[in-house]
């Protein structure tokens, strides 16, 4: 038995994906005044203008009804995901079924969209939302957001069609801002063997759909949020006629191979032509060039490194033409190099640089893996070295929140360390008040583990500062050579892996005090934003839970499993 009831609208709302909301939506109220009758009614399906909508929420008494079963004698609301357009009429139809009697009912609402902006641009047929929340009370300025999304290939043409838009409340309406972005690492999955395989449900005989061709891509952009702000960045796609966008950017990359020069409004960085390590940093506001150039290859950035006699001390700065890959665009330039350490094939290393538009930051990620058991005197990372032309002091942040200053005119000298610091020290700066310049290293992440289980080999790890013909800082994992007993050979086990993530920046002290600037960027980068994806349910997606494949063909099952059935 089917009941069809058309109910006059009490209240409705047309909403936007903004301030942490993920949908364009219509919120429609249904006040049936008991026409459905007593008992629980399950909202089984929702259609808008005759087309089924997979994504909807049910509310009653101001609470979400998670199982979508409502009290038939009380009003309820439906929040329906819909890319609504201004001043367009919509008929919302809800199909319901009584849980006890099996009786069916159809409720309908007719609503008209307001004269507002509505959906951003109908030429883009689909969208997903990135819900971004600042939850640490830290202001985010040009914070690098990198998100990876998977889209059914049917709805995706090319990276050129992607648009990132931020929607923000503007009075009773919304304002849209297109965000400069970069699409990279695009891969497509379309395994015809799996896609063409036919599988049927043992009970119903119906075909089981397990896979769809999928395009997966990463999207990068710079976000600005106030403390505790919630924002929605909308990613629009599926516009076959869309051309590749052209965005203004201050990020420039020149050169061939590893001999790159990277430049933005804050700095110009020159990479060593053989190793790709940072060789020179030119700070634009002060016009000061930072460099080392006193020994070996003269690079500023040296590590990872290892010293395992009788081999020579081996640094990544000694690389000659390591394998590399790069990614360039209007938001960031990424360079990744991977190779064994020179003269020491038992230690492999990888270093990735990120240079961003509109930011003084350089992000460095490095991984070091020990392939075989070794005895050595040094295993280090995160080293930067400068000659003594510019800096005359250093500062660091203690775990108690104090800033301590070191005057190099009155400090310990090489081979003794100026100071040894905890391995989780937040940041260190080299600076000169007279020349109004600072270089800071922010220590963001550290992971030491072993592929064979447990921790990587460590010998009381620490960070230290050194003063000799140069100034440098470094992170020691295993370092007898830096101790008062330099002849000790210390073990490092096969499978040890060391991961380090740091941020470097050089800046003028005329407008930015080094301590507060370091704190601001450290807090921004140390505590990442919360990012969640909100994507539509595609019409092709199977209903309900898709049971995964848990056993290989001909597997006999788990021995002595309770209630288990032996497969034939």
Supply the CATH number for residue 75's domain: 2.60.40
Decide if 272 is inside a domain.
no
Smallest Cα–Cα separation from 383: which of 289, 253, 453, 295? 295
Provide the pLDDT for residue 202: 85
173 and 312 both lie in a single domain: no
Whether 559 shows a pLDDT value over 80: the answer reads no
Secondary structure of 360-428 as H, E, C letters: CEEEEEEEEEECCCEEECEEEEEEEEEECCCCCEEEEECCCCCEEEEEHHHCCCCCCCCEEECCCCCEE
pLDDT band at 563 (very low <50, low <70, confident <90, very high): low
As a whole number of angstroms, the distance between CA 474 and CA 14 comes to 56
Asked whether residue 269 is domain-assigned, the answer is no
pLDDT tens digits along 426-436: 999 999 999 99
Which range among 26-40, 139-153, 200-214 has the greatest average pLDDT?
139-153
Which of residues 73, 90, 112 is at a domain's end? Answer: 112
Contact by Cβ (8 Å): 199, 93: no
Q: What confidence score (pLDDT) does residue 548 get?
A: 86
Q: Provide the β-strand partners of residue 164.
A: 179, 235
In a domain, 245, yes or no: no
CA Rg, the chain, in Å? Answer: 30
Cis peptide before 352 (omega within 30 of 0): no
In a shared domain, residues 166 and 309: no
Whole-angstrom Cα distance, residue 434 to residue 413?
23
Q: Measuring CA to CA, which residue among 364, 398, 394 is closest to residue 381?
A: 364
Of 56-60, 201-205, 224-228, 492-496, the one with minimum mean pLDDT is 201-205
pTM equals: 0.92
Percent with pLDDT over 70 in the chain: 95
Is 360 within the bounds of a domain?
yes
Query: Rounded to an integer, what distance in angstroms lies between the CA atom of residue 255 and that of residue 273?
Result: 9
Place of tokens 């990614």: 327
Same domain, 330 and 448: yes
Q: Is residue 262 part of a domain?
A: no
DSSP 194: H
Which residue range forms the structural domain that includes residue 72? 2-112
Half-sphere exposure of residue 97, counting CA atoms within 13 Å on the CB side?
6
At 520, list the tokens: 């601001």
Do both 441 and 404 map to the same domain?
yes
Picking from 71, 90, 112, the residue at the C-terminal end of a domain is 112
Residue 537: inside a domain: no
Asked if 370 contacts 493 with a C-beta cutoff of 8 angstroms, the reply is yes
Q: What is the pLDDT of residue 552?
A: 73
Across 304-326, average pLDDT: 96
Q: Is residue 190 domain-shared with residue 305, that is, in the same domain?
A: no
CATH classification of the domain holding 339: 2.70.98
- DSSP label at residue 180: P
What is the tally of structural domains in the chain?
3
**422 and 463 belong to one structural domain:** yes
Helix or strand run (H / E) with residue 348: strand 344-356
Write the DSSP assignment of 496-527 as a string of letters.
EEEEEEEEEEEEETTTS-HHHHHHHHHHHHHS
How many other CB atoms sit within 10 Å of the CB of residue 116? Answer: 16
């Amino acid at each position: 038995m089917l009941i069809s009831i058309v109910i006059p609208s009490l209240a409705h709302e047309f909403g936007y994906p903004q301030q942490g909301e993920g949908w364009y939506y219509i919120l429609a109220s249904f006040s049936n005044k008991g026409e459905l009758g007593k008992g629980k009614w399950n909202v089984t399906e929702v259609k808008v203008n005759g087309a089924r909508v997979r994504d909807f929420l049910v509310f009653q008494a101001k609470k979400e009804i998670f199982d979508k079963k409502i009290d038939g004698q009380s009003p309820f609301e439906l929040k329906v995901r819909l890319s609504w357009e201004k001043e367009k009429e919509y008929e919302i139809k809800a199909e319901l079924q009584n849980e006890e009697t099996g009786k069916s009912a159809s409720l309908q609402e007719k609503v008209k969209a307001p004269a507002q902006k509505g959906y951003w641009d109908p030429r883009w047929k689909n969208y997903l939302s990135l819900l971004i929340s600042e939850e640490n009370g830290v202001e985010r300025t040009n914070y690098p957001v990198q998100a990876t999304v998977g889209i059914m290939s049917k709805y995706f043409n090319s990276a050129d069609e992607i648009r990132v838009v931020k929607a923000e409340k503007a009075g009773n309406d919304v304002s849209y801002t297109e965000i400069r972005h970069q699409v990279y690492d695009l891969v497509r999955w379309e395994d015809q063997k799996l896609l063409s395989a036919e599988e049927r449900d043992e009970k119903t005989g119906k075909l089981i759909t397990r896979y769809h061709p999928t395009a997966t891509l990463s999207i990068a952009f710079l976000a600005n949020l106030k403390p505790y702000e919630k924002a929605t960045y909308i990613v629009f796609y599926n516009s076959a006629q869309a051309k590749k966008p052209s965005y203004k950017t201050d990020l420039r990359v020149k050169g061939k191979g590893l001999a790159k020069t990277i430049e933005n409004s804050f700095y110009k960085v020159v990479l060593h032509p053989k190793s790709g390590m940072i060789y020179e940093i030119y700070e634009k506001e002060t016009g000061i060039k930072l460099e080392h150039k006193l020994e070996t290859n003269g690079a500023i950035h040296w590590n990872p490194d290892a010293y395992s006699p009788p081999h020579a001390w081996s640094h990544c700065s000694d690389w000659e033409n390591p394998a590399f890959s790069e990614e360039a665009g209007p938001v960031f330039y990424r360079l990744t190099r991977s190779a064994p350490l020179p003269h020491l094939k038992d230690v492999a290393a990888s270093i990735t640089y990120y240079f961003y538009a509109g930011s003084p930051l350089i992000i460095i990620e490095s991984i070091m893996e020990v392939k075989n058991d070794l005895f050595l005197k040094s295993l280090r990372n995160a080293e930067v070295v400068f000659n003594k032309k510019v800096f005359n002091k250093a500062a660091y942040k203690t775990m108690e929140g104090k800033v301590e200053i070191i005057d190099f005119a009155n400090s310990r000298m090489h081979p003794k360390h100026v100071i040894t610091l905890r391995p989780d020290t937040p940041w260190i700066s080299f600076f000169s008040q007279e020349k109004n310049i600072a270089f800071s290293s922010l220590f963001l992440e550290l992971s030491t583990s072993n592929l064979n289980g447990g921790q990587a080999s460590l010998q009381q790890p620490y960070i230290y500062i050194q003063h000799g013909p140069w100034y440098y800082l470094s992170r020691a994992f295993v370092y007898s050579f830096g101790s008062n007993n330099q002849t000790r050979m210390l073990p490092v086990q096969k499978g040890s892996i060391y991961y380090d993530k740091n941020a470097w920046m050089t800046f003028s002290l005329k407008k930015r005090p080094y301590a507060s600037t370091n704190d601001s960027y450290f807090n921004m980068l140390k505590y990442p934003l919360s990012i969640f994806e909100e994507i539509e349910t595609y019409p092709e997606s199977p209903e309900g839970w898709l049971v995964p494949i848990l056993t290989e063909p001909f597997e006999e099952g788990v021995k002595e499993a309770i209630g288990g059935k032996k497969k034939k």
